[in-house]
Copies of this chain bind each other. A is one copy, B any other.
Amino acid sequence: MKSVNLKRLAEELNLSVATVSRALNDRYDISQPTKDRVRELANKLNYEPNPYASGLRNQKSRTIGVVIPEVANHFFSLAINGIEEVARANDYHVLIYLTHEDYEREVSVARLLAGGRVEGVMISVASGSRDYAHLDSLQERGIPLVFFDRVHEELATAKVTTNDYESSYQATRHLLDNGCRAIAHLTLSESLSIGKRRLQGYVDALKAAGIPYDEELVVHALANKAQDIQTIQELLLKRPDIDGFFASIESLAMYTYEACRNLGLVIPTDIKVIGFSNLEMASLLDPPLTTITQPAYAIGKEAATILFRAITKNALITATQSLELKSELIVRGSTRASVDMVAAKAHQQRS
């Protein structure tokens, strides 16, 4: 119940607090016998240094903060795994904050972190985030910041992202190749650069195929299951010509499955579906979901590595350290071309 501190150790050993401290920190100027005596008692009493005292003294908290929209999402879970791995290797602690896609929450978290609770911050911004002043002020206070996946382009720091534009272009192209002509795009945010890039890839792929951009087919989701399914269903009813769905986040692909099922539409015969997703079990769905899979664990790991490099060097991070990893298109049943489509294509190639 009563805590073991340096004073207690010093008293029991008839040494000064300073000597005990230095012995425990293995300083060169302490004799080996003394070190041994100190360590022995420290172990016996299960001494653990008070992190608030040493944090205050050294102006170091050995803690980083991770700010993400959600944790019940495979992408972020895997990223946290990567981050925790690196943090632990560096003997650091990880504070976690969920914004639930809410800008206000993000701002208040940033304010808290500005107080010096952490030595660095990793963030994937909320879909509602428009401004980045709250993050800028972290940097102004000397707290290094790394973005991962969802970034504010304008802020001068490292961003670890994936090739979203290309992936999006490729995904759309894949749907087109398999016969889709009216492809809906489900997005969480157009204000975020990630949303813009993914939308642009979609738009450009359509354009390249000579298909005009149809604004009605771009839908903004709300990250609320019931409402999003409702929205998708309304779109499907309003636009029976839709034959493809491109979901820019994991949950939206699932909601599309549910919406199609509710309406009696068959994937991939009636509608083909592709989505960004890190679900291991995409292949076990009915039908197996074609995905663009981001290297989530690697993203977390790389971003954390950049952050710790800055913390160790006591330097801010520059945008030049940004990294773009590659996502992977994994084709499965949800985008399978119908039989006549395949025949048509074969015919086309022959002629």
Interface residues of A (CB under 8 A from B): 1, 3, 46, 48-53, 55-56, 61, 63, 70-74, 77-78, 80-81, 84, 93-98, 111-112, 114-117, 137, 140-142, 225, 254, 257-258, 261, 279-281, 284-288
Q: Does A56 contact B52, Cβ atoms closer than 8 Å? A: yes
Residues of B within 8 A of A56 (CB): 50, 52-53, 56
Q: Which 7 A-B pairs have the closest CB atoms?
A: A48-B115, A286-B286, A52-B55, A72-B77, A52-B56, A71-B77, A51-B117
A42 to B56, CA, bound (A): 21
Q: Can you report 26 A-B residue pairs in the complex whose CB atoms are below 8 A from each other?
A: A1-B140, A1-B141, A46-B111, A46-B137, A48-B114, A49-B115, A50-B115, A50-B116, A52-B52, A52-B116, A63-B95, A71-B71, A72-B77, A72-B78, A73-B77, A80-B98, A81-B98, A84-B97, A95-B96, A225-B280, A254-B280, A257-B284, A258-B284, A261-B284, A285-B285, A286-B286
Residues of B within 8 A of A74 (CB): 72
Partner of A84, one of B94, B96, B115, B140: B96
Residues of B within 8 A of A137 (CB): 46
CB distance from A144 to the nearest CB of B (A): 12
Q: Does B96 contact A96, Cβ atoms closer than 8 Å? A: yes
A49 to B84, CA, bound (A): 27
Closest to A251 in B: B280
A33 to B73, CA, bound (A): 49
CB distance from A229 to the nearest CB of B (A): 12
Given A78-B72, A81-B71, are A284 and B254 neighbors across the interface (CB < 8 Å)?
Answer: yes
Closest to A282 in B: B281
Residues of B within 8 A of A117 (CB): 51-52, 93
Residues of B within 8 A of A80 (CB): 71, 96, 98
Residues of B within 8 A of A258 (CB): 284
Closest to A65 in B: B93
Most buried by B among A141, A257, A258, A281: A281
Q: Does B72 contact A61, Cβ atoms closer than 8 Å? A: no
**Given A1-B141, A50-B115, 15 further pairs, Cβ under 8 A:** A46-B114, A48-B116, A49-B115, A51-B116, A52-B117, A53-B56, A55-B55, A63-B95, A73-B77, A77-B77, A81-B98, A95-B96, A254-B280, A261-B284, A286-B288
CB distance from A251 to the nearest CB of B (A): 8
CB distance from A76 to the nearest CB of B (A): 8
Residues of B within 8 A of A3 (CB): 116, 141
Residues of B within 8 A of A111 (CB): 46, 48
A169 to B279, CA, bound (A): 30
A225 to B56, CA, bound (A): 44
Q: Does A95 contact B98, Cβ atoms closer than 8 Å? A: no
CB distance from A129 to the nearest CB of B (A): 18
Given A74-B72, A78-B72, A286-B286, are A98 and B115 neighbors across the interface (CB < 8 Å)?
Answer: no
CB distance from A330 to the nearest CB of B (A): 15
Partner of A95, one of B81, B94, B142, B225: B94
A72 to B83, CA, bound (A): 13
Residues of B within 8 A of A287 (CB): 286
CB distance from A260 to the nearest CB of B (A): 10
A72 to B79, CA, bound (A): 9
